Amino acid sequence: MAGPVVDPALYRHRDVVPIRRALISVSDKTDLLPLAQALAGAGVALVSTGGSAALLRDAGLEVTDVAQVTGFPESLGGRVKTLHPSVHAGLLADLRLEDHETQLNELGVLPFELVVVNLYPFVETVASGAVGDAVVEQIDIGGPAMVRASAKNFANVAIAVSPSSYPAIIEALGAGGTTLAHRRDLAARAFAHTAEYDRAVATWFAEASLADEQDLPQHLTIKAERLETLRYGENSHQRAAIYSRVGGHGIAQATQLQGKEMSYNNYVDADAALRAAFDMVKPAVAIIKHANPCGIAVAAPNALDEIASAHLRAHECDPVSAFGGVIAANRSVTLKMAENLRDIFTEVIVAPDFEPEALEVFALKKNLRVLQLPADWRQEQMDVRLVSGGLLLQDADRFPAEVESLVDGWQLVTGEMPDDAEKANLAFAWKACRAVKSNAIVLAQGSATVGIGMGQVNRVDSCRLAVERAGDRAAGSVAASDAFFPFADGPQVLIDAGIRTIIQPGGSVRDQEVIDAAQAAGVTMFFTGERHFFH
């Protein structure tokens, strides 16, 4: 081929590499035009692809299509355009080496000194709720290849993967080129960019395999970024921070509308409150203290303001413990609910939305932390818990939305099948019990808790605690137990308090002893066949 295409004197033994040719292929076109105009003004030859090339041409800039460089048309709907030796030889050639210089001249390939590439919006596409092929098409192949090739060859090539890097590149044009230190820094950012991208893709595939009920993944990657450092952890001598998981859509992504800085314990309690409130299909409120509910309720029938009704009924369960509690509502918080909270000391309230008038009331309580859930909030499908040296992964313990209908599928071991209203109360009690730390006993009337016994090392003590907290309200209520009764002593505490129906999983070797005690007292008992431990 005629004439050399590389002047090695421009590169060898020089810290500064002048920018003479740039490859531009970006998905995020933020601030691209000012960069391209600065490059063109400095006499830099621009090579580009697709939408990037169209944007530059529309601005009156001279651009060479990648297809002209490769001699191969863009194909397969854009899947193949930059994957070609004429591109990658120009990215990977180390012009400090004479044999690389010679080979480029023989091939007639020009090197690139600048590559501006960012990747397909994979994370954003997943966050939008897209599934299947719509997500797969956002897995970038050519982009990461160009980024990694350029970053590997940072001795000769500057790689920009973010608009935040553009100002320094424009400045470098006026200084005669990019320095080795500048290119090394850009390379480090580039490798971090592709690593994060690959983690996001791997996580999506792992989560998809979980959804398909296949084996749990052999390898698990969890990527999280620190949002902020907290004042302290559970106690004042412990360091703490809140991190946001890539692709997350939970309490960590909530927007704080007002109030003091969230604490470690605030986040733990707010997450527990969401778990309790959002198990309910009807408008519901949960009040949490030390990660345990002190009241859960759905709205009373025919309530004019359903969420305000649910809050009042939840608060009535244990007003003493509700002092300084954390509240979650599964509907927009209304003015009426805010007014009901005016004289109740509350640490945090979290909900999907708030009426403007409610926020005006909350503004008078300047220390109250008000959190609005992200629009894409949903309960997680998997639970992860750290243990020393590793972590545990399990399916999240969730109820189907139509759990009320499951009452008909439970085993009635003594007594008579209740009417529809009482079935709704039974389903509520069973759901509420799942949100209580084991050993858990929940007493409910009219789909509102009236007594809760939690976290005891034996089930009898949980029964006593629930009955004690319920007081006179225990009589006529229903009781739900998160696991089976190993002896009849626990149910006897409930029976003596006037409970008329007991729900439990069953499965103890002494089930018959427990059934006999209920039958002798004329108490209805259901076996669900499923337990709901919550440690």
Place of tokens 């090695």: 8
- Rounded CA separation 27/144 (Å): 12
- Rounded CA separation 2/24 (Å): 27
- Rounded CA separation 47/109 (Å): 13
Residue-by-residue DSSP string for 345-360: -EEEEEES-B-HHHHH
Burial 195-231 (b: 16+ CB within 10 A, else e): eebebbbebbebeeebeeeeeeeeeeeebeeeeeebe
Is there a catalytic annotation at residue 535? Answer: no
Q: Could you tell me if 282 and 265 are in contact, meaning their C-beta atoms sit under 8 angstroms apart?
A: no
Is there a catalytic annotation at residue 152? Answer: yes
Pick the catalytic residue: 29, 84, 152, 223?
152
Pick the catalytic residue: 29, 84, 223, 290?
290
Collapsing DSSP to helix, strand or coil, 440 comes out as coil
- Rounded CA separation 150/183 (Å): 10
- Checking DSSP bridges between strand 411-414 and strand 524-527, what pairing results, if any? antiparallel
- Rounded CA separation 203/211 (Å): 12
| Distance (Å) of CA 75 to CA 66, 72, 81, 82, 126 | 12, 9, 7, 10, 25
Q: Could you tell me if 425 and 403 are in contact, meaning their C-beta atoms sit under 8 angstroms apart?
A: no
Query: Residue 437 gets which letter from DSSP?
Result: P
Which residues touch 265 (CB under 8 Å, ≥6 apart)? 234
Question: Which residues are known to be catalytic?
Answer: 152, 290
